[in-house]
Amino acid sequence: MKNVNDAMNDQLKQFAEFQAKSMEQMLPFANLASDATTRLLRKNYEVMGDWVDFAVEQSQLPLKGDAPSDVAEAQMANAKKLSETMTTRATEYAEIAKSWGSQAQATTEKTVGKAVSKAKAA
């Protein structure tokens, strides 16, 4: 019975080693995807904050008792401010995408280089 347990343990150990080796090349990409997701979620959080601020400001303007024309003017100014903020945010999203593309390319080149080196050594 001990031989059977030893054989099973060896097989499980070999399987774990094989799995670790096969996943080793994917780990840099998983880290890259995790970082990109974190950055995007944080940026989305900022954008939602911008929209919440805009909505609160817009809803409070009519309650201040100003003349309707003053309220409309203030609402248009807030809308323009939001538009400018969203333009800035769009640029920030583009920078995130550009950065991610550069990182993905570098990670691919590094990973492929390692694989080629291992293949040549074998």
Domains in the chain, number: 1
Q: How many angstroms separate the Cα of 107 from the Cα of each of 28, 29, 45, 111, 119?
A: 7, 7, 27, 6, 18
Domain that holds residue 92: 25-121
Q: What pLDDT is recorded for position 10?
A: 85
Question: What is the distance between the alpha carbons of residues 88 and 121, in angstroms, rounded to a whole number?
Answer: 49
**CA separation for the pair 119, 122 (Å, rounded):** 5
Q: Tally the C-alpha atoms within 13 A of residue 74's C-alpha that lie toward its C-beta.
A: 17
Render pLDDT for 44-94 as a digit per residue (tens, 0 to 9): 999 999 999 999 999 999 998 889 999 999 999 999 999 999 999 999 999
Q: Has residue 82 been placed in a domain?
A: yes
Tokens of 13: 């150990």
Domain assignment present for residue 32? The answer is yes
Task: Report if residue 16 sits inside a domain.
Answer: no
Q: Is 101 within a domain? A: yes
Banded pLDDT at 1 (limits 50, 70, 90): low
Specify if 4 maps to a domain. no
**2 within some domain:** no
In a domain, 104, yes or no: yes
The token pair at 8 is: 């099973």
